[in-house]
Amino acid sequence: MHHRYLGNSGLKISEITYGNWLTHGSQVENDVATQCVRAALDVGISSFDTADVYANTVAEEVLGAALDGERRESLEIFTKVFGPTGPKGHNDVGLSRKHILESIDASLRRLRTDYVDLYQAHRYDVETPLEETMQAFADVVRQGKALYIGVSEWTAQQLREGHALATELGFQLISNQPQYSMLWRVIEAEVVPASEELGVSQIVWSPIAQGVLTGKYRPGQAPPEGSRATDDKGGADMIQRWMSGDVLTAVQGLAPVAEGAGLTTAQLAIAWVLQNPNVASAIIGASRPDQVRDNVEASGVVLDADVMAAVDDAVGHLAERDPALTTSPATREA
């Protein structure tokens, strides 16, 4: 497993991060979730990403239990705050001081740890003054409950404003967690240049486009039984945008590219996002331990210019690139 520095900091994280969105506490049983975490540890993954909103706090509990007993100093644990949790009351959402300070304590209890390495604003909160949010994060850092602060799906301008306040308040804003894949490239035009300027890295989610870039979904055929596209707990809704015939047909063209590089198509997709020097890590999810072992082979892979060009020839014309698609909810209830 290779490691990279996260932003302009001394913190190193694994190139592959294990994430439990849509899996722990919902799609897979707890014992299987624990097996996946054990597999991640066995192959050298040290970074683990979750959020309080995943499965309405249950995902944090499952991850905390799975990591219990591990040497804490050898791990990098990330979680997030913003989305509605608990009974979803009027203050159980957003980036107010109240919600942040209550949420970090609850997350630490569920994760069975005294601190998280990275605490992330899961979205931008249009209803709370940014100064209030960043002051609360500064206090979380000073209290030792989080070592670093990150954000998720913030625009370039939001990153600049947040970074300026963090600097003024004396703590480090070092990461952004956006969606990024061969098919979803909206961060390239504005977010990545701003991040490079500010010393912020990307920890990217959905590098295999909800599983579409594995090539297992065939045009004109029913999705494989047990796949995300058949999951009625949220997975099918998330993958739907990629299930059109033109996308599925184009993705089949990645198979010979991957084979020529000595990779599976999933490994090629993960390696592709890691070629971007502003990407510190790619988040993978798993419903089986073997998926973890397979996907981790993308770490350390260097794709030559011909392979990158072949990827663009296959799917580049279908990639979404509009930076305006980096958005946060217009209201907390949205």
Closest C-alpha to 286, from 36, 29, 53 = 36
Sequence-distant (6+) residues with CB within 8 A of 190 are 155, 156, 323, 326
- Can you tell me which residue has the tokens 């990403």? 49
Nearest CA-CA partner of 9 in 166, 124, 144 = 166
Active-site annotation holder among 54, 124, 180, 217: 54
Residue 52 phi/psi, 5-degree rounding, is -65, -25
Q: Among candidates 179, 122, 133, which has minimal Cα distance to 321?
A: 179
328: left (phi over 0), alpha (psi -120 to 50) or beta: beta
User: In which element (H, E) is residue 324 found?
Assistant: none
* Distance of alpha carbon 48 from alpha carbon 80, whole angstroms: 12
Contact 284/18 with Cβ under 8 angstroms? yes
Measured between alpha carbons, how far apart are the two ends of the chain, in Å? 39
Q: How many residues are there in the chain?
A: 334
Name the token pair of 57.
Answer: 């706090």
Residue 18 annotated as catalytic: no
The C-alpha atoms of residue 65 and residue 36 are separated, in whole angstroms, by 13
Which one, of 269, 217, 273, lies nearest residue 241 by Cα?
217
Contact yes or no for 300/281 (Cβ under 8 A):
no
* Catalytic residue list: 54
